[in-house]
């Protein structure tokens, strides 16, 4: 959602180092940016609206200091202004904080601390003011601990205190990584920000704090005890992290899902509840989209059935006009589109409007044609998606549909909490070791020309979507099936060594899916299991977190990575597959 970067070490150009690090994190937020350090015993802060890429390191060349913190912002609480930009600081200008996440009880804390003490509209400023309050009575370390114990919500923070030559950072739900260099340390939201300096990292886990000076000390926030961390060497080259930090936009956008899901669910509560009421009172609710967005709509059918006990109808946008005779003024059409310009979706909307039905759109492009022509539109906030194969937009769209389903049964806040937990688990899943393993699996199957994917219930649409991804970028013939449909024909396609991917969740249909997988194995299939739990039928097991009904959000990501790595290993460009365009604006 936002980019954090901190440096402490032997170099005196720490501000320049922080600026460069933030520029490599610009994809995480580009509304505004800021840096802070201590110079001559005083807090120095510079922050501006605009892109960090426009900042010039030469402007900070004469600012000599050996530690600094910085932030590049994607606005959530408060408008895009210089004052709302990070770092935020205490009234006495002794504490500076950069923050990623949402402090859920910030209004309560503002009241407690006195609203007259605040100058910004953000939730983040309460962290600086709270630490400063406790700092009057205790050490810097203890003040940070005391403040954190009062925070509710999800956060990654880095804090500095004038007069103290060290940094403190903490995390709950938002990513934060420690880079360990030669006599220097880096704190960042993502590894590529400091790859030119070091490939050695410590992962900060949830409810942990780290004190960084000449060493690093990790502390469990629950017990207050020190935690031993294993130093991990990341086998990434700095050259491969240039221009978007990844070799291809597709991989970059897959990795961004740990943040884009959080942005998707950060919607106005009143708007979500209004949409839920519109769906409730409609007589005939239809979901429609094309390609990947269509598979998202199919998943939405299951979400609304399982969560909201509500029947909705799905039809591909290109087929939707056929159903026009079912529409009436009380009907509601919910369309999903990444670009907001999809021609078939616009035609489906025309069919609905011809019957005076209302249209709701879920898009990734504010001001697009679909958004403008809708009665109501929601922006998924996924950020630019440049690879033709949609990845982060798909999971953002699914997360938003799930959120609406929870609102249908007055469980919006719990739904938001659960989806935030899903995003946190995806963040932990998407680590370099996970990617290396999936690439090794891709190496085993890259030369096969056929691949089949099975799933059941809400993972059936993900089997179809996984096939789309593999088809799009690797040109492998891939098909997705409902797991129970195998015995009715498709199993005849399986021969010795045929790659078959099984999407399995810990749910009431797990045993059925495993039994169908065993049937494939009996015909000689090479089974790749994507599941929270290992099963003996799997030849290769890709472990995913157990997230209940949200399993489609985590199960689809390994298939995106498999598609990506198969394409790369076959010498293809996954960003620009043949015969395909990002936005299909013609019929």
**Is 17:7 a contact under the CB 8 Å cutoff?**
yes
**Is 561:254 a contact under the CB 8 Å cutoff?**
yes
β pairing state of 32-39 and 67-73: antiparallel
Report how far apart, in Å, the C-alpha atoms of 356 and of each of 65, 86, 353, 440 are: 65, 47, 5, 53
- List of residues 6+ apart from 535 with CB closer than 8 A: 504, 514, 517, 529, 541
Q: CA-CA distance, 182 to 184, in Å (whole number)? A: 5
Buried (b) or exposed (e) across 231-254, using 16+ Cβ within 10 A? Answer: ebebebeeeebeebbbbbbbbbbb
R_g of the chain computed on alpha carbons: 25
To the query of whether residue 582 is one of the catalytic residues in this protein, the response is yes
- List of residues 6+ apart from 177 with CB closer than 8 A: 187, 188, 189, 190, 191, 201, 202, 203, 204
Q: At 174, list the tokens.
A: 């938002």
Q: CA-CA distance, 567 to 587, in Å (whole number)? A: 28
Per DSSP, helices labelled H in 256-342 are 257-265, 269-281, 291-306
3-class state of residue 48 by DSSP? strand
Phi and psi for 35 in degrees, rounded to 5?
A: -140, 160
Structure-token match 């942990």, residue found: 208
Q: At 23, list the tokens.
A: 């520029």
Report which of 83, 77, 178, 94 is spatially closest to residue 131, judged by C-alpha positions: 94
Residue 243 backbone class (left: φ over 0; alpha: ψ -120 to 50; beta: rest):
left
DSSP state of 374: S
Q: Exactly one of 141, 150, 386, 582 is catalytic; which is it?
A: 582
Q: At 266, list the tokens.
A: 């950060």
Angle at 523 between CA 521 and CA 524, to 5 degrees: 65
Q: CA-CA distance, 161 to 163, in Å (whole number)? A: 6
Of the CA atoms within 13 Å of residue 198, those in its CB half-sphere come to 22
Of the CA atoms within 13 Å of residue 261, those in its CB half-sphere come to 31
**Is 334:578 a contact under the CB 8 Å cutoff?**
no
**Is 410:277 a contact under the CB 8 Å cutoff?**
no
Phi and psi for 496 in degrees, rounded to 5?
A: -60, 120
**Is 408:310 a contact under the CB 8 Å cutoff?**
yes
**Is 54:23 a contact under the CB 8 Å cutoff?**
no
Q: CA-CA distance, 388 to 573, in Å (whole number)? A: 11
Phi and psi for 331 in degrees, rounded to 5?
A: -80, 160
- List of residues 6+ apart from 29 with CB closer than 8 A: 1, 2, 3, 72, 73, 74
Q: Exactly one of 2, 65, 290, 451 is catalytic; which is it?
A: 2
Peptide bond into 73 cis (omega under 30): no
Just list the catalytic residues: 2, 582
């Amino acid at each position: 959602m936002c980019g954090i970067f901190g440096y402490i070490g032997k170099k005196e150009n720490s501000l320049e180092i922080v600026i460069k690090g933030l520029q490599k994190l610009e994809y995480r937020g580009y509304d505004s940016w800021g840096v802070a350090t201590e110079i001559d015993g005083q807090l120095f802060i510079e922050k501006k609206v605009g892109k960090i890429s426009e900042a010039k390191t030469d402007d900070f060349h004469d600012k000599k200091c050996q530690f600094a913190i910085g932030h590049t912002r994607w606005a959530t609480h408060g408008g895009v202004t210089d004052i709302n930009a990070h770092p935020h600081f205490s009234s006495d200008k002794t504490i500076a904080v950069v923050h990623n996440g949402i402090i859920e009880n910030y209004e309560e804390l503002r009241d407690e601390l006195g609203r007259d003490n605040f100058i910004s509209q953000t939730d983040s400023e309460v962290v600086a003011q709270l630490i400063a309050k406790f700092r009057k009575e205790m050490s810097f370390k203890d003040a940070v601990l005391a403040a954190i114990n009062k925070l509710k919500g999800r956060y990654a923070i880095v804090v500095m205190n004038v007069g103290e030559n060290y940094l403190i950072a903490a995390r709950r739900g938002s990513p934060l990584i420690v880079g360990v260099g030669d006599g220097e340390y880096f704190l960042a939201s993502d590894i590529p920000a400091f790859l030119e300096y070091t490939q050695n990292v410590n992962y900060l886990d949830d409810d942990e704090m780290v004190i960084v000076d000449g060493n690093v000390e990790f502390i469990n926030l629950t017990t207050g005890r020190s935690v031993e961390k294993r130093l991990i060497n990341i086998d990434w080259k700095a050259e491969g992290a240039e221009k978007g930090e990844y070799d291809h936009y597709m991989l970059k956008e897959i990795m961004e899902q740990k943040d884009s899901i959080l942005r998707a669910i950060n919607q106005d509560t009143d708007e979500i509840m209004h949409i839920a009421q519109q769906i409730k009172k409609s007589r005939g609710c239809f979901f429609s989209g094309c390609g990947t967005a269509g598979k998202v709509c199919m998943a939405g059918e299951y979400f609304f059935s399982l969560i909201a006990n509500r029947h909705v109808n799905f039809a591909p946008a290109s087929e939707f006009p056929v159903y026009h005779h079912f529409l009436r003024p009380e009907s509601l059409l919910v369309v999903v589109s990444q670009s907001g310009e999809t021609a078939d979706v616009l035609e489906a909307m025309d069919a609905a409007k011809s019957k005076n039905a209302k249209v709701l759109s879920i898009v990734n492009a504010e001001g697009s044609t679909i958004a403008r022509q809708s009665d109501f539109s929601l922006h998924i906030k996924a950020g630019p998606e440049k690879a033709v194969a949609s990845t982060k937009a798909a999971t953002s769209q699914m997360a938003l549909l799930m959120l609406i389903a929870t609102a249908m049964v007055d469980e919006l806040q719990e739904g938001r909490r659960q989806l935030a937990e899903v995003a946190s688990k995806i963040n932990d899943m998407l680590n370099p070791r996970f990617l290396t393993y999936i690439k090794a699996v891709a190496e085993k199957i890259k030369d096969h020309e056929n691949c089949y994917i099975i799933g059941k219930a809400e993972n059936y649409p993900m089997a179809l979507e996984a096939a789309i991804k593999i088809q799009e970028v690797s040109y492998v013939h891939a098909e997705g099936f409902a797991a129970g449909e195998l015995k009715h024909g498709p199993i005849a396609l399986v021969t010795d060594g045929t790659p078959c991917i099984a999407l399995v969740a810990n749910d009431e249909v797990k045993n059925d899916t495993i039994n169908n997988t065993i049937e494939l194995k009996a015909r000689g299939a090479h089974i790749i299991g994507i599941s929270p739990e290992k099963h003996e039928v799997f030849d290769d097991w890709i472990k995913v977190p157990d997230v209940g009904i949200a399993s489609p959000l985590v199960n689809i990501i390994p298939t995106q990575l498999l598609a990506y790595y198969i394409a790369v290993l076959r010498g293809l460009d996954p960003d620009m597959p043949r015969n395909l365009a990002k936005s299909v604006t013609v019929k």
